[in-house]
Chains A and B, each alone.
Chain A
Amino acid sequence: MTTVGAVRELMLKRLETEAANSDAKRDLEMALEELDVMWEELQGQAALLVRENERYAEFFEFAPDAYLITDAGGRIREANQAALELLNTARDEVGGGSLSDYIVDADRVQFLTRTVGLLLGAAKPLAWTTGLQPRGRAAFTAHFSVRAIPLKKSGVSGLCWLIRAAD
């Protein structure tokens, strides 16, 4: 099933043909067996993580709230369905863009100042209200709630934004 298994077979064959002393041979056989077990464990771990991540990814994607994950500079890394609907934008349009692009002009400087402040502050959620400018639609007032979150891969701190239209 694994190529590791194939490599192991090869090494065992080599052991048979090359007349190594019997102690060394046994040691090597045992080491290979151990390696096999460890490999299987690591593969199992990977498969479990893949399954769990798929489930969490689905939850993020279809959470009943609009969520965006940005890096520390406010660049959008991820946006869920509800967020795309709220910003009236498409996934390929939002990726790599900046969240501040969707803030009304009058509030943008304040928005950026607050974002910088966040990075210097604590991990507890912070909330404020600001003007949101969706693509091709009228602007409206929205509640923003933000907290720190580790980014995928790098693990460095990013920001998780929850956005709700104010009633």
Chain B
Amino acid sequence: MPVELEDLKAMWFDLKAQVDELAGERQQYLDFFEQSPEAYIVTDNLGTIEEVNGAAVDILQRRRRFLRGKPFAVLVALDQRSAFRERLSGLAAEGSWRTVLEALEMRTEVALTARRIGSGRGICWRLQASS
């Protein structure tokens, strides 16, 4: 085999191994986030929804497609919305408060816990429906 082909083969296998390792890592993260029994949402700093896990979709009663890119505030009941916005804009590293979500005229009281992502890229939220 020409030496160039040997080089190509080696490079290919290196990159393939790298992709396989990254895919393994991704699987762990997906399992961690998606399969979690806790309801999590990731937003940017302004509260625009980036990711929603399965448990959060169940609480929010809306399709994931609808949720991505929407401001978190639109899920909050109208009478709670301005309070929610105030808490969000005043959020330090962490915060917890209660609010009411509204979907299809159904109100759900939830406890929110928010933690800022260290790099300043957004906020991780946990939702707990009070039963």
Contacts and interface: CB of A to CB of B under 8 A. Distances in A.
Interface residues of A, number: 43
B22 interface: yes
Nearest to A42: B15
Interface in A2-53: 3-4, 7, 10-11, 14, 35, 39, 42-43, 45-46, 49-50, 52-53
Given A61-B118, A62-B118, A64-B125, A49 B26 contact: yes
Contacts of A65: 38, 126
B115 A42 contact: no
A86 interface: no
A113 interface: no
Interface in A81-140: 81-82, 125
Given A11-B2, A49-B19, A59 B42 contact: yes
B27 A63 contact: no
Interface in B19-40: 19, 21-33, 35-38, 40
B124 A63 contact: yes
A50 B40 CA distance: 22
Interface of B: 2, 4-5, 7-8, 11-12, 15-16, 18-19, 21-33, 35-38, 40, 42, 50-51, 94, 113-119, 121-122, 124-126
Interface of A: 3-4, 7, 10-11, 14, 35, 39, 42-43, 45-46, 49-50, 52-53, 55-65, 67, 69, 81-82, 125, 145, 147, 149-155, 160, 162
